[in-house]
Chains A and B, each alone.
Chain A
Amino acid sequence: MSDTTARREATGSSTGVGGDDALAHRLRRALLWIAVATTAGTTVELASLEHWTEKTQLIAWMAVVVLAVAIAIVWRARTTRAVQLARLLAVGVCGAAAIGVVAHVHGNYEAGPLDAQYGDRWDSMSQAARWWAALVKQVGPSPPLAPGILVIASLAVLFATVGHPALTGDAS
């Protein structure tokens, strides 16, 4: 705790509390802008990759839409219920991102026999070696950790709800 903060708490300075609120508001907005930028970038990336050739690939699009909704809710939230809904949606997007990571690694694993370098010895490799090759993208076309970007955006939304005025009824 800094000296300035301690002094403010000790004196109950209304100016200090108001300053903290303003700072919290700016940080909250900054987190939401990070989420917006990440979501927009992810959308462009998905479109450029034509990430819709398989049904499971549509999960990423649904996650992006849900994330955008969560951002909008937190941005304009006036009630506790709205903030809780946004948190729920953000957690859901985290889950979808985790599924995406698993799906990418599994897709790479399945593509192992097609690889020019690994195809011939794929059957003789241990399971651990195969999964490792899929995880580090030595085989397959999918970037394993790319869906993790949605986790970052979701965490930004979740942190933006911490101390949100709507939770204490201070939202104006």
Chain B
Amino acid sequence: MTDDVAPVRPVRPVLPVRIARPGSGRPVRLRRTAVAAAALAAAGGLAACSSSTSTSTGTSTTTAASASPSTGGATAGSTAGATAKVSANTASAEEIQAALTAAGVTNAARWTKEVQEYRPYPADDPSLAKLRKELQKYNPSADQLDKILSALQP
């Protein structure tokens, strides 16, 4: 009979989801894991469910995964932004804007337009000196300029 208590445990994965609210500063990875675990628990608990139900659980998992980069915001940007650079020459506006946003750049959409305007950038200049020179015309703060350049590569 004590085993009958076990079905209550699937409630546990919900807790990390609460912990992972934006204000908590918890890693996004933890939240993804929690959501995935909850989805698996739900799928396992409802093994006899219809195909429409399994579709809905798959959708919710996808939504959580795709939403996490934007809700990850500054924490994701400060860590992933340094490594996940996008090409200033070939990346789309959406990609550049996402990279700049992740790097913590304000007015990312407007800066994206400026990055695209001054293409092309020399492929043999990883420091993007040309882009730096062009963007300095707009008198940005040094911090802002560094964030922009940290998210881009030729």
Contact = CB atoms under 8 A, between A and B. Distances in A.
A113 B140 CA distance: 9
Interface size of A as a range: 10 to 19
Contact of B117 (A54, A113, A114, A117): A54
A139 interface: yes
B52 interface: no
A163 interface: no
Interface string A113-125: 1111101000000
Contacts of B114: 114
A111 interface: yes
Contacts of B111: 114
A141 B117 contact: no
B141 A116 contact: yes
Interface string B99-119: 000000011001100100110
Interface residues of B, number: 13
A12 B106 CA distance: 76
A53 interface: yes
Contacts of B106: 119
Contacts of A110: 110
Contact of A113 (B107, B137, B141): B107
A53 B118 contact: yes
Given A111-B138, A140-B138, A141-B137, A116 B110 contact: no
A114 B108 CA distance: 10
B90 interface: no
Contacts of B137: 141
Name, among B117, B137, B138, B141, the residue most crowded by chain A CB atoms within 10 Å (CB to CB): B138
A4 B114 CA distance: 63
Interface in A100-149: 110-111, 113-117, 119, 139-141
B117 A53 contact: yes
B97 to A, nearest CB: 14
B128 to A, nearest CB: 16
A54 B117 CA distance: 7
Interface string B115-130: 0011000000000000
A110 B144 CA distance: 17
15 contacts: A53-B117, A54-B117, A111-B138, A114-B107, A114-B111, A114-B138, A114-B139, A114-B140, A115-B139, A115-B140, A116-B140, A116-B144, A119-B106, A119-B107, A141-B137
Given A116-B139, A141-B138, 13 more contacts: A54-B117, A111-B110, A111-B138, A113-B107, A114-B110, A114-B138, A114-B139, A115-B140, A116-B141, A119-B106, A139-B139, A140-B138, A141-B137
